[in-house]
Amino acid sequence: MTVPTDLEPLLRDLSPQVLGILVRRGADFAAAEDAVQEALVEAWRHWGDDPPREPRSWLVKVAGRKLIDEQRSASARARREERVHREPEQGPTEQADDTLLLLSRCCHPALSPASAIALTLRAVGGLTTAQIAEAFMVPEATMGQRISRAKRTLSGERFERPGDVTAVLRVLYLIFNEGFTGEVDLAEEAIRLTRQLSAATDDPEVEGLLALMLLHHARRRARRTSSGDVVPLAEQDRSLWDTAMIAEGVRILQAALAKDQLGEYQAQAAIAALHDDAATAAETDWPQVLEWYDELLRLAPSPLVALNRAVAVGEVDGPLAGLRVVEGLDPALPRRDAVAAWLHERAGNLAEARRLYGVAADRATNAAELAHLTRQAARLRHA
């Protein structure tokens, strides 16, 4: 069935709102999600180009009836019907609460990251199972089973208040890092969902994540050549960066930092902002970048943060100082060989740099990374 062009975005926006209302009223998550999908089908069949004056109320009532039809107990059916048909006007605060409730439930700790991502994109993002499957390059049936398992995991849970926002942020950042594949730009979808979450809470880490996404996404046009090759940050054409998006990211970050509740996403955003603020790679304020990496390592210590910090140490204190940091890290750490190769090249050890670029290429996890590292090794053969 073909959906009118102007109707599709309306239904996509209303879908998570309706689901949030039903869940807040005590409906089982899986049953409510199924009921909303059935209500959307009814809307496609009956609205045409003339939706009702109160489309959300219409969908809530229809989805409520679908829920009622599924109830086996007459007493449960009567209680549910009374609750669904008593439709108070939902204000901005309630809608924000519902958004946060849905996001935190879709990112429930009982779910695997892959299941949480799929359920978030379906229930809150309003994407179809086919769109999600295409984005992750898996068969639609496989993605459908993943979503169904996630809903079964949550079945029977009562969700009356939002859960831990930290888990939500982690899932949203995972979605963002998937980038663009297929019909849906998952980076933009993650930004859209994070904006919704930002409107639902005053947590500065939510603002920090939104700022981080914007500051990274602003460079998207410069990250690849026309043939799809990776362009390192230092070599990117900065005239291709989205300055308006950078400015928005900086404003959001400044507002978050002003709350004096520093978290890891704010620290990451501060590092991204320093890179975006430099007119050329040579003008990057590396001492400040290093200070923020020290802060990030305190807030969220990890081998990857330590490796990225080694690059900043190399810029501030010289490549040999950076190499001393790298030598203390696990040899199996992804990108460790590539960073070591870059530092050796900066130190003038071209033969060792060429060897390590080759090692890094052998360990590459995707075609773009493999091609980039192979080119670096080949370049030094002629140096």
Q: Which residue has the higher pLDDT, 222 or 52?
A: 222
Could you tell me the pLDDT band of residue 322, with boundaries at 50, 70 and 90? very high
Could you tell me the pLDDT band of residue 9, with boundaries at 50, 70 and 90? confident
Question: What is the pLDDT at residue 206?
Answer: 95
Question: What is the pLDDT at residue 75?
Answer: 45
Could you tell me the pLDDT band of residue 363, with boundaries at 50, 70 and 90? very high
Spell out the SS3 assignment of the chain: CCCCCCHHHHHHHHHHHHHHHHHHCCCCHHHHHHHHHHHHHHHHHHCCCCCCCCHHHHHHHHHHHHHHHHCCCHHHHHHHHHHHHCCCCCCHHHHHHHHHHHHHHHCCCCCCHHHHHHHHHHHCCCCCHHHHHHHCCCCHHHHHHHHHHHHHHHCCCCCCCCCCHHHHHHHHHHHHHHCEECCEEHHHHHHHHHHHHHHHCCCHHHHHHHHHHHHHHCCHHHCECCCCCECCHHHCCHHHCCHHHHHHHHHHHHHHHCCCCCCHHHHHHHHHHHHHHCCCHHHCCHHHHHHHHHHHHHHCCCHHHHHHHHHHHHHHHCHHHHHHHHHCCCCCCCCHHHHHHHHHHHCCCHHHHHHHHHHHHHCCCCHHHHHHHHHHHHHHHCC
Question: What is the pLDDT at residue 157?
Answer: 66
Residue 185 pairs in a beta bridge with 180
Q: Identify whether the C-beta of residue 7 lies closer than 8 Å to the C-beta of residue 45.
A: no
Matching residue, tokens 């300055």: 243
Q: Which residue has the higher pLDDT, 216 or 174?
A: 216
**pLDDT digits over 135-184, tens only?**
777 889 999 999 998 888 887 666 655 556 888 898 899 889 876 555 56
Lowest mean pLDDT among 49-63, 149-163, 192-206, 300-314: 149-163
- Compute the distance between CA of residue 303 and CA of residue 272 in angstroms, rounded to an integer: 19
Question: What is the pLDDT at residue 63?
Answer: 83
Could you tell me the pLDDT band of residue 277, with boundaries at 50, 70 and 90? very high
Judge if pTM exceeds 0.85: no
Lowest mean pLDDT among 96-100, 227-231, 341-345: 96-100
Structure tokens at 238: 């900065």
Q: Is pLDDT at 82 greater than 50 in this prediction?
A: no
**pLDDT digits over 119-138, tens only?**
888 887 778 888 888 877 78
